[in-house]
Structure 1
Amino acid sequence: MSATHRTTSRRAAGDAGRQGFQYSTAQLEELADLALKHARALGVADAAVEVSEGCGLSVSVRRGALENVERNRDKALLITVYAGQRRGHASTSDFSPQAVRQTVRAAWDLARYTAEDPAAGLPEETDVAHDYPDLDLFHPWPIDAEQAAEIALRCEAAAFAVSPRITNSEGAAVSAQQSHFWAEHMRGGERRRQGIFYGGYASSRHSLSVAPIAGKGDGMQRDHWFSSQRNPAELASPEAVGRYAAERALARLKPRKIATTECPVLFEAPLAAGLLGAFVQAVSGGALYRRTSFLLDSLGRQVFPAHVDIFEDPHILGAKGSAPFDDEGVRTVARPVVSGGCVKGYFLSTYSARKLGLRTTGHAGGSHNLLMTSRLTQPQDDLPAMLRKLGRGLFVTELMGQGVNLVTGDYSRGAAGFWVEDGVIAYPVQEITIAGNLAEMFKGIVAIGADVYNLGAKNVGSVLIERMKVAGS
């Protein structure tokens, strides 16, 4: 491991005490070192340990008054040991030397009596990260409860100020969270050499949200909006979040029911991220090796129209889905996931890759910064342009229920949104169900908007599907 690697890791989480952490990076390393020494003393040759700490503040207000203040502080040591092809795992939140020793012993006892698994084991030496970049993921927010409450109150007040028809609120909330970790492998009793992983970094995640209610009595409608960033300086202003949430709630007043029909459906960008998420789940290792996916054996197959691409870039500075390596210490790389509608890559951990006879893709822990685009999209294809492309049909802004079957691809969700006529919103609708099959829905994507929205590790504009069933009155 190079000096650059170590310097980057220490800088990212260095001076931990001044950043709100109780443990420094050096102390996390010492705990990992202690655990692996105990494992080695028991005769363990291969092991992986991770030591982490997280802390944060969450404050909520409602109707102009403080409602809740929560502080969280969590820590954990996780150890996995291997006895040949047997694996044992144990964890503890107690960092005392005795607890660490007992946790390692518990993992070893489990490994000795667990059935053999040919896929168990550390990642291959050629797959682990040796040097990795500082991705600018750590931006602690030095905010106290009083300051957080003031921001939340401003956000809620901005929502109420939009219109007297904003009559109530489910509250506004501010959250400031940060964490850091150190992870390390032991292979053949050896540590800290080329091909044996060790490293860690700090990260942060902050958010602001509000949920106003418009109207009165049976005619009340609720909506919400939020902003989430690693860097608090990049959060949307409380006033902007409050105003937009209120406008969304007001737009839903006096909804109508519609007759059952088949029509084009436009998914608002935040909901389109859910469609992208369903695709990721369907081509992830666990679903594939268990054969519980409607996209089995899809590598190299046409799953989307030829104009659709999905690209993954784990190394975007400061992005919410960025990571220099996955949960197993395997390096992450930028890659096309879908090109010209064809699947070019799965999402595999070391274990799932071995079960499938493939190689890990560095996805133990999930996907990283996915961007779903269409080669037909023009810079001017904002939401009004997408509504014009829709023409006459349903614009969905809320989904309810969990009616997605990833084994068959069947899709059925409660929905609310707006009926569109001649490319313009005509009126809000609710109490409807949209249904289809994900395989057909993916192939039926006719346009993706330039109104790209970021939801965690997923980035996509509004998505227009050619035809779906809409069950109404």
Structure 2
Amino acid sequence: MTQTLDALTAQLLDVARTAGADSADAIAVRGTSLSVDVRAGVLEEAQREEGTDIGLRVFVGQRSAIVSASDTSSRTLSEMAERAVAMAGEAPENPYAGLADPEQLATDWDVEALELFDPTAEPDPAALQEDAAQAEAAALAVEGISQVQSASAGYGARQVHLAGSNGFSGGYRRTDRGLSCVAIAGTGAGMERDYDGDGRIFQTDMRSAIEIGRIAAERTLARINPRKPPTGTYPVLFDERISSSLIGHLLGAINGSAITRGASFLRDAMGEQVLPKGLSLIEDPHRPRITGSRPFDGEFLPTSKRAVIEDGVLQSWTLDLGTGRQLGLPSTGNAARGTSSAPSPNPWNMALTQGEASRNDLIRDMGTGLLVTSMIGSTINPNTGDYSRGAAGLWVENGEITHAVNECTIAGNLRDMLLAIIPANDARTHLSRVVPSLLIPSMTIAGS
């Protein structure tokens, strides 16, 4: 009989105590994943994986160590604990390490309200194959598409349980369903490709396979016959597909790990203007059916809604217990961990204030400049915020898209860029990061 995850984590804590740990926490993850790839209308590859992974972190004084395994036998658990305690004895002391105090623990959460688990039955592989085949056929039906590089569908379900010697025990289940399509147009050196896809917790929320294939094709055709843009200073509009990367750089700069190292261009910016007035960045880990939602964090603390940036002003770092202790601040309930990694600060669901203008309005108003739809590589200085990335997209002349562009570099400084952003109103609200297209009025473009 398969052991329940709560019993498994309790057993891990017991063997840790027996091995000599002063305190410990444990995580167990049991999951199933299924993926299908289709090419030329026939099944190319199908994979199914099932397994249980466990992780144990032990503390001996202020020294700690982590071990993990995929074998859940009693012998393995005992050996894990003994090895972890021995490793901790050789580790350096960390004055900021340790479990949460019992009074800090999450005690009242509503997993059902978060709707993280779709009770619909796992899809049959044939259903996933049909989804992928429909997406591929829809892309190939668009004139100008020569082939589909990949059409893939997948499903996953997992159960997570965490427990600690401080008295916490809790878990939840998650599901996900995904579909993607990559279309190709042109031949030889003139070949271009682009993609579309969707991923949801509930299968019924998925966009249709036909729509995904069609949009992948249309995006690909828009990239045909690209040219290098002129070198100079122009407005740059980050398409909604990639605009969240800008907010990702901001979130990295306010992450407690970066702040404690002093490796952040925002390390001295608390209470300062970092976005334009009127814009806020709100974290809400309790949004239903959203992948970044959590009933509690990886250190068993309650999660809650918070304003990271309010009216453009930085209000909060993203902290776990360790970085919070180092900074003399409470954790923001943002610890994430895996079976083989220690907790570290991680943002949950984030939403940036949307604007009133559409993306087309911003294209019209930007005059002449670049609409970026994809990026490659990066040279970003975390200390200064200096930013340089390879880009491709569409060139805009007199407020209208004229042709595709590639092989260019866009550059600026993130602090200046973030202070100047103008948001559109096109963010997809089902994503964990709700970020619309973002216009930056002036950036350096290096092209021809």
TM-score between both structures, scaled by the size of structure 2: 0.94
C-alpha displacement at 1:41, in angstroms?
2.2
Instruction: Letter of the 1:465 partner, please give it.
Output: I
C-alpha separation between the residues in 1 aligned to 2:201 and 2:287?
A: 12
C-alpha displacement at 1:43, in angstroms?
3.7
Within 5 Å, which residues of 2 pair with 1:430-469? 430-445=406-421, 447-453=422-428, 457-469=432-444
Instruction: Letter of the 1:158 partner, please give it.
Output: A
C-alpha displacement at 1:456, in angstroms?
5.1
- The aligned residue for residue 372 of structure 2 is 396
Identity among equivalent positions (%) equals 37
Alpha-carbon contact 2:290-2:430 (below 8 Å) kept: no
Give me the CA root mean square deviation: 1.5
2:349 pairs, out of 354, 363, 369, with 369
Answering whether residue 156 of structure 2 is matched by residue 156 of structure 1, we say no
Structure 1: 4+ residue segments shifted above 3 A:
none
Alpha-carbon contact 2:137-2:213 (below 8 Å) kept: yes
Alpha-carbon contact 2:364-2:398 (below 8 Å) kept: yes
Instruction: Letter of the 2:40 partner, please give it.
Output: R
Instruction: Letter of the 2:154 partner, please give it.
Output: S
C-alpha separation between the residues in 2 aligned to 1:432 and 1:54?
A: 42
- The aligned residue for residue 7 of structure 1 is none
- The aligned residue for residue 106 of structure 2 is 129
Instruction: Letter of the 2:165 partner, please give it.
Output: M
C-alpha separation between the residues in 2 aligned to 1:74 and 1:291?
A: 40
C-alpha separation between the residues in 1 aligned to 2:169 and 2:334?
A: 17
C-alpha separation between the residues in 2 aligned to 1:287 and 1:254?
A: 42
- The aligned residue for residue 300 of structure 1 is 271
Alpha-carbon contact 1:206-1:228 (below 8 Å) kept: yes
Alpha-carbon contact 1:386-1:462 (below 8 Å) kept: no
Cα displacement string for residues 15-41 of structure 1 (whole angstroms, at most 9, x for unaligned residues) = xxxxxxx95xx6111111211111222
C-alpha separation between the residues in 2 aligned to 1:351 and 1:70?
A: 39
Cα displacement string for residues 294-327 of structure 1 (whole angstroms, at most 9, x for unaligned residues) = 1102221111111221011110111111111111
C-alpha separation between the residues in 2 aligned to 1:266 and 1:126?
A: 47
Within 5 Å, which residues of 2 pair with 1:332-351? 332-351=303-322
Cα displacement string for residues 340-377 of structure 1 (whole angstroms, at most 9, x for unaligned residues) = 11111111111111122211111112211100115xx2
- The aligned residue for residue 363 of structure 2 is 387
- The aligned residue for residue 340 of structure 2 is none
Query: Residue 380 of structure 2 aligns to a residue in which SS?
Result: coil
- The aligned residue for residue 398 of structure 2 is 422
Within 5 Å, which residues of 2 pair with 1:353-364? 353-364=324-335
C-alpha separation between the residues in 1 aligned to 2:92 and 2:375?
A: 43
**Pair 1:91–1:456, CA change in 2 (3 A):** farther
Cα displacement string for residues 357-408 of structure 1 (whole angstroms, at most 9, x for unaligned residues) = 211111112211100115xx22xx2221221232221110010113223232
C-alpha separation between the residues in 2 aligned to 1:124 and 1:309?
A: 32
Answering whether residue 31 of structure 2 is matched by residue 51 of structure 1, we say no
- The aligned residue for residue 29 of structure 1 is 6
- The aligned residue for residue 341 of structure 2 is none
C-alpha displacement at 1:411, in angstroms?
1.1
Query: Residue 242 of structure 1 aligns to a residue in which SS?
Result: helix
C-alpha displacement at 1:141, in angstroms?
5.0
- The aligned residue for residue 92 of structure 2 is 115
- Length, aligned pairs only: 436
Alpha-carbon contact 1:270-1:453 (below 8 Å) kept: no
C-alpha displacement at 1:118, in angstroms?
0.5
Cα displacement string for residues 249-268 of structure 1 (whole angstroms, at most 9, x for unaligned residues) = 01111212222010110000
C-alpha displacement at 1:422, in angstroms?
2.3
Alpha-carbon contact 1:174-1:207 (below 8 Å) kept: yes
Instruction: Letter of the 2:224 partner, please give it.
Output: L
C-alpha separation between the residues in 2 aligned to 1:142 and 1:80?
A: 33
- The aligned residue for residue 410 of structure 1 is 386
Cα displacement string for residues 135-182 of structure 1 (whole angstroms, at most 9, x for unaligned residues) = 11011552122221111000010011121x100111100010111111
C-alpha separation between the residues in 1 aligned to 2:400 and 2:363?
A: 6
Question: Which one is further off, 344-353 or 450-459?
Answer: 450-459
Instruction: Letter of the 2:286 partner, please give it.
Output: H
Answering whether residue 169 of structure 2 is matched by residue 183 of structure 1, we say no
C-alpha separation between the residues in 1 aligned to 2:287 and 2:321?
A: 24
Query: Residue 107 of structure 2 aligns to a residue in which SS?
Result: coil
C-alpha displacement at 1:76, in angstroms?
1.3
- The aligned residue for residue 245 of structure 1 is 216
C-alpha separation between the residues in 2 aligned to 1:339 and 1:153?
A: 45
- What runs of 5+ residues in structure 1 fail to find an aligned partner? 1-21, 188-195
Alpha-carbon contact 1:367-1:457 (below 8 Å) kept: no
- The aligned residue for residue 283 of structure 1 is 254
2:16 pairs, out of 39, 47, 71, with 39
Instruction: Letter of the 1:472 partner, please give it.
Output: G
- The aligned residue for residue 343 of structure 2 is none
C-alpha separation between the residues in 2 aligned to 1:382 and 1:432?
A: 26
Instruction: Letter of the 1:201 partner, please give it.
Output: Y
Alpha-carbon contact 1:63-1:171 (below 8 Å) kept: no
Alpha-carbon contact 2:180-2:198 (below 8 Å) kept: yes
2:194 pairs, out of 202, 208, 223, with 223
Within 5 Å, which residues of 2 pair with 1:64-79? 64-79=41-56
- What runs of 5+ residues in structure 2 fail to find an aligned partner? 337-345
Alpha-carbon contact 1:261-1:470 (below 8 Å) kept: yes
C-alpha separation between the residues in 2 aligned to 1:48 and 1:406?
A: 33
C-alpha separation between the residues in 2 aligned to 1:420 and 1:65?
A: 40
Alpha-carbon contact 1:315-1:334 (below 8 Å) kept: yes
C-alpha separation between the residues in 2 aligned to 1:123 and 1:201?
A: 20
C-alpha separation between the residues in 2 aligned to 1:385 and 1:306?
A: 20
